[in-house]
C-alpha cells in the first residue's frame, strides 16, 4: 500500500502525511494495523488506495518520463485527475474520503454484492441480469465492463446470486463473488448521491494538464463541467474500463504503467491489440521501480 516507497521517497511520504492531515488520522499506521475486513471497508479503502496509488506515481515520476494520458478504474480516476493537476491532492483526498463515507452509508442502507463473470460477453451478461431480476425480484445489473469477457455484476444479494447461477447455466467459465463491502456502480448507491454531490459540487477543479479518460464516456475530459458531471454519474454508472483502456492505448504511449499495490489492470492491457506497441509494467514498490528504471536504462543506452 505504498509504505515501502514512502520510506524511501520524500515525494511519496508527503502524500501520506498530507492525506493524514486531511483525514485526521495517521493513514500509514491505520492501514498497517487494519485487519483484512477493515481494509475492504470502503470508508478506509478509498482514501487508502487513492493515497497509495498517487504515492507510487510520485516515485515513478522521479524517473523523468512525461505523461501524455492517464485513466483509472472506478475511483482510480481521481488519481489520474490528481496527477494531471485537475484536482489538488488535498482536495482529492477530501472528495475521495467523502465518497467512501457516502458509499459506506449507502451500503449500510442497501447491502449488496458484486460478482465477476468470466467467459460471457456484455449482451449475454445483460440477459443474465434481466433474467435474474425477473426470477429473484431483486436488483442486479452490470457494474464493471473490464474486458470483453470479464464483466462484474452488482446489486442486491439475491439478484447477484441468481445472476451467478444463470451465468453458470449459460456456460460462464468462472463466476466469483468479490470481496467488497457493497454493490458499487449500481442503483443501490443512489442514497450516497446527496452527500457525495455536495463534495463534488464544492470542489475546485481544472481542465487536466494532459489527457485523462473518463470511465463514464470512455473519452478524454475537455471541461470542468464534464469532470463534475461524470464524477457524480460514476457512482451508479457502469465502469467502461475496456473502452477506456482502448482509448488510452490509442494515444500511443511508449510505456503504460499501472501504479498500485496489486497488479490488476496491466494484465488486461497486455491482452489489448491496441496496446501491443507499448511496454506495459506494474509498479507497487521499490523493487518494481528499480526494475522499471533498469528497463528504461537498457532501452536508452
Residues belonging to the active site: 74, 185
| Residues 60/296, Cβ–Cβ less than 8 Å | no
The residues, any chain, with a CB within 8 Å of residue 161's CB and separated by 6 or more, are: 113, 136
Distance of CA 86 to the CA centre of its chain: 17
Exposed / middle / buried, residue 299 (Cβ in 10 Å: 0-12, 13-18, 19+): exposed
CA–CA separation, 7 and 30 (whole Å): 16
Q: Using CA atoms, how far apart are residues 40 and 102, in angstroms rounded to an integer?
A: 15
Pairing of strands 112-118, 174-177: antiparallel
Amino acid at each position: 500500500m505504498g509504505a515501502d516507497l514512502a520510506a524511501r521517497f520524500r515525494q511519496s511520504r508527503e502524500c501520506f502525511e498530507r492525506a493524514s492531515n486531511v483525514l485526521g488520522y495517521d493513514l500509514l499506521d491505520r492501514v498497517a494495523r487494519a485487519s483484512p475486513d477493515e481494509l475492504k471497508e470502503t470508508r478506509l479503502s478509498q482514501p487508502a488506495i487513492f493515497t497509495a496509488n498517487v504515492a507510487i506515481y510520485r516515485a515513478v515520476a522521479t524517473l523523468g518520463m512525461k505523461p501524455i494520458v492517464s485513466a483509472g478504474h472506478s475511483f482510480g480516476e481521481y488519481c489520474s485527475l490528481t496527477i494531471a493537476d485537475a484536482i489538488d491532492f488535498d482536495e482529492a483526498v477530501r472528495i475521495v474520503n467523502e465518497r467512501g463515507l457516502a458509499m459506506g452509508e449507502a451500503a449500510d442502507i442497501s447491502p449488496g454484492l458484486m460478482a465477476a463473470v468470466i467467459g460471457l460477453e456484455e449482451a449475454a451478461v445483460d440477459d443474465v441480469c434481466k433474467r435474474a431480476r425477473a426470477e429473484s425480484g431483486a436488483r442486479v445489473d452490470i457494474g464493471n465492463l473490464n474486458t470483453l469477457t470479464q464483466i462484474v455484476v452488482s446489486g442486491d444479494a439475491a439478484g447477484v446470486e441468481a445472476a451467478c447461477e444463470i451465468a453458470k447455466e449459460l456456460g460462464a467459465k468462472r463466476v466469483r463473488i468479490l470481496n467488497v463491502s457493497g454493490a458499487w456502480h449500481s442503483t443501490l448507491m443512489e442514497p450516497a448521491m446527496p452527500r457525495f454531490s455536495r463534495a463534488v459540487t464544492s470542489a475546485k477543479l481544472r481542465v487536466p494538464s494532459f489527457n485523462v479518460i473518463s470511465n463514464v464516456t470512455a473519452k478524454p475530459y475537455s471541461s470542468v463541467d464534464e469532470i463534475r458531471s461524470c464524477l457524480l454519474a460514476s457512482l451508479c454508472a457502469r465502469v467502461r474500463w475496456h473502452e477506456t483502456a482502448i482509448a488510452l492505448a490509442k494515444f500511443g504511449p511508449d510505456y503504460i504503467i499501472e501504479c498500485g499495490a496489486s497488479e490488476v489492470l496491466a494484465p488486461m492491457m497486455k491482452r489489448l491489440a491496441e496496446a501491443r506497441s507499448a511496454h506495459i509494467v506494474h509498479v507497487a514498490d521499490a523493487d518494481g521501480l528499480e526494475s522499471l528504471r533498469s528497463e528504461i536504462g537498457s532501452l536508452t543506452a
